[in-house]
Every structure is written in C-alpha cells, then in structure tokens.
Amino acid sequence: MIEFKNVSKAYAQKKILDHANFKIESRDFFVLVGPSGSGKTTTLKMINQLISQTEGQILIDGQDTKTVDLRQLRLSIGYVLQQIALFPNLTVAENIELIPEMKGWDKKKRQARSRELMELVGLDPEVYAQRIPIELSGGEQQRVGILRAIASEPNIVLMDEPFSALDPISRRQLQIFIKDLQKKLQLTIVFVTHDLNEALLLADCVAIMNDGLIQQIDKPSEIFHHPANKFVAHFFQEYHQDLSQSQVSDLHLTEQTSDYSLKEVSADLSISDLINELAQEKVIRFGNYIITSDDIVRFLAGASAV
C-alpha cells in the first residue's frame, strides 16, 4: 500500500500539491487525472522521491520513503515515461535486462527473465532480442520500455503519460496491453494522464486533480454518478453526453484470436453504435477481444446503477 499523509509540495510561495491525504491499495490500477498543471506528475514523482515533498509523509507498506536508501527505493519501483528513453546503443534484450543487472542479477537469470517477458507480450525473442530501438515502431519501443520497468519484478510501477505521444491505434493497443499485464502480474500501477477516457478505461480507482488539490478519489463509476463538486461534474460533462468506446474496459472482454470470421468494429465506435452492431451480429471483434451482447447488458446494468 502507498499512503500520502498530509503531503504538500511548494516551490517558492506556490503550492503544487496541497495537504494530500489518500491511500493506493496494493494491486490497484490507480490513475491521477486532471488538466495540465494540476499536480499529477509532481504527485507521481514523490512516490519514488524524484521530487521530495515539502510537508507530510509518504509511506510504502508502512515505511517512510524519506528514511530508506534512495537508490534502493528507485530500483524497487518501475518507472515508465512519455519519452520512451530506451538506450539507442543497446539491444532490446539489453534494455530489458538493465535494471536486473543494476540489482546484481546473474546473466543467466537476466536473460531468462527478458525472454519470458518478451514471450508474455508477443515479442518473439528470436526476432526482437537483438534488435536496437531504431528498428522498432513507436508502440514496440514503448512496450519494451514497459518490460524494462517490470523486469526486476517490482510491486509498484509508475507511469507518466506513457501513451500520449503515440498514434490512436497504438495507444489503444497499449492501453489494453497494460491493463491485461497489470492483472496477470498483480502490479500496483500509478498512472498519470490528462485524458479522462484513458483514465476510465484503465483505472480501478481514479483521483481527479486540479490546482494541486485532490478533488475526488473513487471508483470510476462512483465518480461518474456522484461527482463531489462542480469541477468534477464539469470535467465529466462531455463524457456524460456521449458514452464512448473507452468504456470497453468494463465489458469484461474475452481474449480470442483464432476465429477471424467475426465482424471487426472500429475502436472509435460509441457505446450506442456498439449496441446497434451487436443487435445485428450478437458477437463482434475488438482487436484481439470478443464482445457479446451479454457483455453490453452487464455493462449497461452496472452503468445505470446508482
């Protein structure tokens, strides 16, 4: 568990974060969302002490992060940036193995781990291990960046707008990928975004931020139905008007890659258009996932609950 206890951060007279008190439960996908300058990235970077708080305590499993060795703290937490930042002169395998090597893993263990992770995410080690970053697409580079962050088996991974520079198709693929990976590996992920749709797609718990203040923290459906104040309600206003395809995370998707006879739908479809498609097809394909009419019924039942 990560706990912020009365945490503030100020530069000169300006408070970037103002007396924040909240907990991030272990194995949750926790998303910080809000407009630019709201304090999201500062909050994220205080977890691994890349930025030190002015006031208050940050505890990880009950231990004050200011009392532990900084190098060990940072090596124990995965970190993924918007700027992919792979080392251009290292191969894919060497990039993935970098943190395990810094932590003293032997070569055999490092290589086994990098192969295991590449296979887990569909990057054939025989094809990708010896490539260098310039030979990869943007989406592949970011996937390798994520693998590097989790290679040393951290319990916590911090992600600072990691998909914002990608094209829409690559971005949606990686959103589904990271949510699936988080569930498989039981990771605690703290994720920063300014995109509400992305937040609602990924999050178990969302923190809405503005001007250095936490406006509301709750499950996405609770915030959607019960905004805490006018700012949160306004932030959700456009989303209220058009439930979007980003809510596909709530459909409990079933992975299915073998049946290519199913109709494939666009990632840009709204929920209402998806319902129309399902009324005709009953089962449709979204990337490597299958959505059925039963999924939509379960989703709408949950979305309409107060």
Residues 128-156 pLDDT 10s: 999 999 999 888 898 899 999 999 999 99
Residues 42 and 178 in one domain: yes
Q: Count H helices, E strands: the chain?
A: 14, 14
- Give the residue from 192, 216, 236 where a domain finishes: 236
Other Cβ atoms less than 10 A from the Cβ of 102: the count is 11
Instruction: Give residue 292's pLDDT.
Output: 59
Sequence-distant (6+) residues with CB within 8 A of 240 are 224
Residues 192 and 292 in one domain: no
Residue 182 lies in a domain: yes
Instruction: Give residue 279's pLDDT.
Output: 58
Mean pLDDT of all residues belonging to the chain:
82
Question: Given pLDDT bands bounded at 50, 70 and 90, which one contains residue 253?
Answer: very low
Question: Given pLDDT bands bounded at 50, 70 and 90, which one contains residue 266?
Answer: low
Whether 248 contacts 201, CB under 8 Å: yes
> Across 8-17, 88-97, 224-233, which has the greatest mean pLDDT?
88-97
Question: Which is it for strands 188-193 and 29-33: parallel, antiparallel or unpaired?
Answer: parallel
Residues 157 and 266 in one domain: no
Residue 306 lies in a domain: no
Domain count, the chain: 2
Residue 260 lies in a domain: yes
- Give the residue from 214, 236, 258 where a domain finishes: 236
Residue 172 lies in a domain: yes
What CATH number is given to the structural domain containing 56?
Answer: 3.40.50.300
Neighbour-count burial of 169, counting CB atoms closer than 10 A to its CB (0-12 exposed, 13-18 middle, 19+ buried): exposed
Residues 36 and 179 in one domain: yes
Question: Which is it for strands 55-60 and 2-11: parallel, antiparallel or unpaired?
Answer: antiparallel
Residues 68 and 94 in one domain: yes
Residues 254 and 281 in one domain: yes
Does an H or E element contain 54, and which?
A: none
> pLDDT (tens digit, 9 = 90+) per residue, 173-224?
888 888 888 988 899 999 999 888 888 888 899 999 999 999 999 988 888 7
Average pLDDT over residues 263-287: 60
Whether 90 contacts 132, CB under 8 Å: yes
Residue 53 lies in a domain: yes
Calculate helix-pair angle for 138-150, 168-185, nearest 10 degrees: 20
Residue 260 has pLDDT above 90, yes or no: no
Residue 57 lies in a domain: yes
Residues 203 and 293 in one domain: no
Residues 269 and 135 in one domain: no
pLDDT over 70 percentage in the chain: 77
Print the domain residue range for 265.
240-301
Residues 134 and 55 in one domain: yes
Residue 58 has pLDDT above 80, yes or no: yes
Residues 244 and 221 in one domain: no
CA torsion sign for 106, 185, 114, 132 is negative
Residue 264 lies in a domain: yes
Residue 301 has pLDDT above 50, yes or no: no
Instruction: Give residue 56's pLDDT.
Output: 96
Residues 40 and 175 in one domain: yes
Q: How far is CA 259 from the centre of its chain?
A: 29
- Give the residue from 189, 205, 236 where a domain finishes: 236
Residues 140 and 126 in one domain: yes
Question: Given pLDDT bands bounded at 50, 70 and 90, which one contains residue 303?
Answer: very low
Taking alpha carbons only, the member of 83, 98, 245 closest to residue 159 is 83
